Amino acid sequence: MSIISSRGYLHLKGIKESKHLTSDKEVLEISHEAIAKIYIPEVGPNAVPLTLNVKVGDEVKVGTVIGIRTDFNIPVYCSVSGKIIAEEMLFHAVAGRPVKHFVIENDFKDEKVKALEPLGEDASAEEIVEQIRKAGIVGLGGAGFPTYIKYRGVKDIDTVILNGVECEPFLTTDYKEMQEKRELLLKGATILGRISNAKEVIIAFKADKVDVMAKLNEIIADYPLVKIKTVKDAYPMGWERTLIKELTSREYDRLPSEAHVIVNNVQTTIEVARAVLYGEIMTHKVVTVSGDGVSKQSNVRVPIGTKVSSIVEFLGGYTDENVALLLGGPMTSKGQMNDGVVILPNCNGITILKHRAIKSLPCLRCGACVEHCPAGIQPVEIKIAVESKNVDRIASLNAMSCVECGLCSYICPSKIDVTEFVKKGKLQLRLQEQKKLAQQKAAEAKK
């Protein structure tokens, strides 16, 4: 009963208006000036280095393998055709420091190289999973986890959920893709359902997207495995745990497979369909550029590797001297130090907000953060434990379950950065773990 437990979500005020900034407009194609140069990092999207396949001076085409990720053995492809003219140190968002990027001069010919062969209707599950791996598809909802791993050796799955909820304010790329590529979505859904032996595949999105619902319902009869379910407009409905709880009332400990569910983003599904049925790799991404810090707000289709500064210039530039540049939505993304970062496959949007100074008051102890935490922990108590440096209490409060959704800081009436305190708590816990491990090793070494 949620009288004494956390409610788990909150309806954000103003989220509809923020989405309307870009949801009714057409997706723009980026100009040629903006993509005159493309920058592909020499590390994977999670900052682990690549085994490189090309070097400076090579001619590349769409579909050329730039490198293989050393951690998950998936290739990273080039998104345009041209020539690699140099290497440049650019800031990498996930690594948090500058890394080497290949600078590719775009010749706008878009010459292709066949990277994959399309599979037939009767392809086996192993072949499809291998195809997904070769296509280099990663989770396009923001996490960037390689998709094929979820389906390799899969068993005991009865539901696949396709997450089109998009609960972050300002972002509308999932919505636009669902509108335009409904057939690919449904085909991809059927493929995923088949290779996981699921009983049903559920496409989930917010209840107010009636046009998507209508469009999908027109042709859904041809895809018997797929169902549509709508969810309420609450944050963070797009989080795995909340979505699974909402749709199937199941809870799990660490991985969704414990609840017999696999969750994928709708854009990942579309890419799966493209790779399996047509042998096409992912080269372009629809990015929502929004917020009051940029002159024009719109969805833009850009090739992977476009510099953020070029996109902003294409849309009219910044409106203020002091802005916050976020890769993603305003709730979970942290501010970027410069706009020389590039668009990677799991980047869904660029939100640029004018800088607002926030002065925080002492904690009111109202408990609003506790009442709405989706992970079910007590942010205010963790804050008190961090301030009093009580690491045992931080552990007993299950601080590691925090997903940094930002809801506690959002809802705090005293405008305290509660999420920061929980992050500090997690850091202190990790440091304590490392210390213990080091002590254990030292003790064993002595023996």
Partner 1 sequence: MKFSMSPAPFLRRKRTTLAIMLELTIALALVWLASIIYYFTIGTNHGLQAILIGIVSTATMMVVEFLFYLPKCIKDGKEAVSKNSELNCFKETMNAMGYKLSHSFGWVSGLILALLLPVGTPLYVVLVSAVIAILVGKLLFGGFGYNIFNPAIVGRIFAQLCFGTSLAYGVEESASGFTAFTGATVTSQLSNNNWMTTGLDIDLWKLLLGNYQGTLGETFTLLILVIGVVLAIRKVIDWKVPVFYVGTLYLASLISGFCGGYGLGSFEYALIQISVGGIMFGAVFCLTDPVTNPTSPSGKVIFAVGAALFTFVIRYFASAPEGVAYSILLMNMLTPLIDRCIKGFTTKKLLPKWGVIGGIMLASMVLGVSSGFVNHEAYDVEYRKQNEFSSVIKKVEDNVYHIEVQQGEKGQIWSKVEMNVTLDLTNRTVTKIEIISYGANGGFGDALLTGGEIKFNTDGDEYTSFPKEKEPIAMAFYDKYIKLESPLAFDEYLNLYSKGNSLSAWSSEAKNVIRVGATYTAMGFIYGVCEVINYAGGAQ
How far apart are the C-alpha atoms of 287 and 27, rounded to whole Å?
Answer: 9
Residues 6+ apart with CB under 8 A from 27: 176, 180, 286, 298, 299, 300, 301
Q: How far is the CB of 260 from partner 1 (least distance, A)?
A: 20
CB neighbourhood size of 38 (10 A): 27
In the chain, the amino acid numbered 55 is K
The two most distant CA atoms of the chain are separated, in Å, by: 71
**Residue 326 in the binding site for partner 1 (CB under 8 A):** yes
Return the DSSP state at 42. S
Which residue, 47, 306, 228, 263, is CA-closest to 139? 263
Q: Which of 20, 199, 334, 436 binds partner 1 (CB under 8 A)?
A: 334
- The pattern of x and - marking residues 165 through 184 that bind partner 1 according to CB under 8 A reads ----x---------------
**Residue 409 in the binding site for partner 1 (CB under 8 A):** yes
Residues 6+ apart with CB under 8 A from 405: 235, 236, 239, 331, 332, 374, 375, 419
**Residue 149 in the binding site for partner 1 (CB under 8 A):** no
Task: With H, G, I as helix, E, B as strand and everything else as coil, classify residue 180.
Answer: helix
Considering only the stretches 157-165, 206-214, 265-273, 355-363, report the one whose residues sit in contact with partner 1 under the rule CB under 8 A.
355-363
Residue written as token pair 């925080």: 360
Q: How far is the CB of 249 from partner 1 (least distance, A)?
A: 13
The answer to whether the CB of 207 falls within 8 A of the CB of 219 is no
Counting beta carbons within 10 angstroms of the beta carbon of residue 252, is it exposed (0 to 12), middle (13 to 18) or buried (19 or more)?
Answer: middle
In the chain, the amino acid numbered 401 is S
The tokens describing 23, both together, are 């949801």
Q: Which of 415, 435, 436, 441 binds partner 1 (CB under 8 A)?
A: 415
How far apart are the C-alpha atoms of 417 and 283, rounded to whole Å?
Answer: 38
Considering only the stretches 3-11, 190-198, 208-216, 438-446, report the one whose residues sit in contact with partner 1 under the rule CB under 8 A.
3-11
Q: Is the previous residue joined to 169 through a cis bond, with omega within 30 degrees of 0?
A: no
Residues binding partner 1: what is the number (CB under 8 A)? 64
**Residue 248 in the binding site for partner 1 (CB under 8 A):** no
**Residue 440 in the binding site for partner 1 (CB under 8 A):** no
Counting beta carbons within 10 angstroms of the beta carbon of residue 284, is it exposed (0 to 12), middle (13 to 18) or buried (19 or more)?
Answer: middle
The answer to whether the CB of 225 falls within 8 A of the CB of 125 is no
The tokens describing 331, both together, are 């709730």
**Residue 363 in the binding site for partner 1 (CB under 8 A):** yes
**Residue numbers 187-246 binding partner 1 by CB under 8 A:** none
In the chain, the amino acid numbered 276 is V
The answer to whether the CB of 334 falls within 8 A of the CB of 324 is no
Nearer to partner 1, 283 or 390 (CB): 390
Q: How far is the CB of 45 from partner 1 (least distance, A)?
A: 19
How far apart are the C-alpha atoms of 88 and 91, rounded to whole Å?
Answer: 10
Q: How far is the CB of 209 from partner 1 (least distance, A)?
A: 21
Nearer to partner 1, 257 or 332 (CB): 332
- The pattern of x and - marking residues 12 through 31 that bind partner 1 according to CB under 8 A reads xx------------------
- The pattern of x and - marking residues 420 through 439 that bind partner 1 according to CB under 8 A reads x--x----------------
Q: Which of 75, 141, 330, 345 binds partner 1 (CB under 8 A)?
A: 330
Considering only the stretches 59-67, 200-208, 209-217, 412-420, report the one whose residues sit in contact with partner 1 under the rule CB under 8 A.
412-420
Q: Which of 188, 318, 345, 428 binds partner 1 (CB under 8 A)?
A: 318
**Residue 362 in the binding site for partner 1 (CB under 8 A):** yes
Nearer to partner 1, 199 or 334 (CB): 334
Which residue, 261, 179, 187, 270, is CA-closest to 226? 187
**Residue numbers 376-405 binding partner 1 by CB under 8 A:** 376-378, 380-381, 393, 396-398, 401, 404
**Residue 288 in the binding site for partner 1 (CB under 8 A):** no
Site residues (vs partner 1, CB under 8 A):
1, 3-6, 8, 12-13, 169, 318, 321-326, 330-339, 351, 353, 355, 358, 361-367, 370-371, 373, 375-378, 380-381, 393, 396-398, 401, 404, 406, 409-415, 417, 419-420, 423
